[in-house]
Amino acid sequence: MMDDYLPLSYVNQFAYCPRRFWYMCVQSEMAENAHVLRGVQNHRHVDAAGYATDATGTRAHRRLYVISHELRLRGICDLVEEAEDGTLMPVEYKQGRRGKWNNDQAQLCAQALCLEEMSGRPVPQGQIFYFGSRRRQEVTFDPALRELTRTLVAAMHRTLAHDVIPPHTDKRARCRGCSLIDICLPAETEQLTIEH
Ligand code: SF4
């Protein structure tokens, strides 16, 4: 059933915090904060679907729909560059700077796994463009990142099947940048737990 295919972008949310993924996926919560709004605005600049070929023969596919039946995952790649020899490379645009966690890299790797399944060709590398630093980060889809991504996707499906909201993340620094903090109330819930 295609209904249980998850959006690619939720790999990033789950890697950041399983509870955040739950709110967005099950309760459709997507509170806006400055970080979220910047992301929406930045994506508008790269959001026109289609493709173009440059002087080097590299073809740029924008807003490419991808799917993996093995992972039960689907979504849109911001940009996929196709070299003259047919090598595919996903490029993802992110607001801010590179974070301390691998959530952006896992989302990009999930795109690569979808592209490999669809094309039958290996996808060895990708890039993430951070608007905050205006830098592209090269990401190699090595066995460790592939394993992490597959593990995350399997855990996402398990979490939904289990049908219980995950606990707050114990990495509380993440809550400070989370747009759902006023819905999730991690500090207040912790206080209640202590008092009981
Ligand atoms: S506030 Fe913290 S625990 Fe709650 S969803 Fe956001 S990151 Fe997760």
Domains of the chain: residue spans and CATH:
2-195 (3.90.320)
pLDDT score for 27: 81
For CA atoms 155, 161, 167, 168, give the dihedral sign.
positive
User: In this structure, how many other beta carbons lie within 10 angstroms of the beta carbon of residue 102?
Assistant: 18
Counted residue by residue, the chain has a size of 196
pLDDT score for 1: 59
Decide: 15 and 150 in contact? Cβ < 8 Å. Answer: no
Which of the listed residues 23, 27, 169, 179 should we mutate to test ligand 1's pocket, taking the one with most ligand atoms within 8 A of CB? 169
Alpha helices, H only, 83-180:
103-119, 143-162, 173-176
Atom of ligand 1 nearest to the CA of 172: 2
Mean pLDDT in consecutive groups of 10 residues from the start of the chain, 196 residues: 84 93 83 51 58 80 95 95 95 78 89 97 95 87 96 95 91 90 85 62
User: In this structure, how many other beta carbons lie within 10 angstroms of the beta carbon of residue 173?
Assistant: 9
Q: Which residues' Cβ are closer than 6 Å to ligand 1? A: 17, 19-20, 168-169, 174-175, 178, 180-181, 184, 186
Burial class (CB in 10 A: 0-12, 13-18, 19+), 64: buried
pLDDT score for 107: 94
pLDDT score for 193: 62
